[in-house]
Chain A
Amino acid sequence: DAKTTQPNSMESNEEEPVHLPCNHSTISGTDYIHWYRQLPSQGPEYVIHGLTSNVNNRMASLAIAEDRKSSTLILHRATLRDAAVYYCNQGAQKLVFGQGTRLTINP
């Protein structure tokens, strides 16, 4: 079973920041937090991952809570192409997917 919980859906406007939350209260000390996103009829696309410190890359930022039981994926300026289902996963041995958050971006 998926070990993470995310809101089913979120909505935002184009060019505004988006904060996607994820709870992973059962995470162990060595589990990385991974984020992926999936467009319809495509495989999941890697977005970002981290362990303890906040992480930034060209796609997004990942803010990890100090107790590591939650994290937030931040899209700084959403575009229409960011509309997708976003999945948060914990662990590295194998990724088990929950239902994810369906992000809608309004023009």
Chain B
Amino acid sequence: GAVVSQHPSRVICKSGTSVKIECRSLDFQATTMFWYRQFPKQSLMLMATSNEGSKATYEQGVEKDKFLINHASLTLSTLTVTSAHPEDSSFYICSARTSGVQETQYFGPGTRLLVL
């Protein structure tokens, strides 16, 4: 299957700082990537759809000014959590969608964010 990487795998930051998470499709080009958040014991929650060269589409209830998404190339999307607070602590997971007749999403390994 296709490979998607994320960096960093885990990060600890102080409240009020910003954190950037990178998502890369390593062996395919992805015009569309997705960002999810997962709290303990819960399922994945879709935050936004990241489109290469255009603005991201955010799900209802997700603050676009707090979760900045940039998809500058066909292999890289970044999520920046601005002015992070303890309630933003979560497991952030990206996915990239292959193109073609049978589109499939492949997921990254996730980034564990802890805001102190």
Contacts and interface: CB of A to CB of B under 8 A. Distances in A.
A9 to B, nearest CB: 13
Dominant SS at the A interface?
Answer: loop
Interface stretch (B12-20, B68-76, B100-108): B100-108
Interface residues of A, number: 20
Contacts of B91: 41
A87 B43 CA distance: 9
A36 B107 contact: yes
Interface extent on B, as a size class?
20 to 34
Contacts of A43: 4, 6, 93, 95, 107-110
A44 B107 contact: yes
A50 to B, nearest CB: 9
Given A36-B107, A43-B110, A95 B34 contact: yes
Interface of A: 2, 32, 34, 36, 41-46, 49, 87, 92, 94-100
Interface of B: 1, 4, 6, 34, 36, 43-46, 49, 91, 93, 95, 97, 102-110, 112
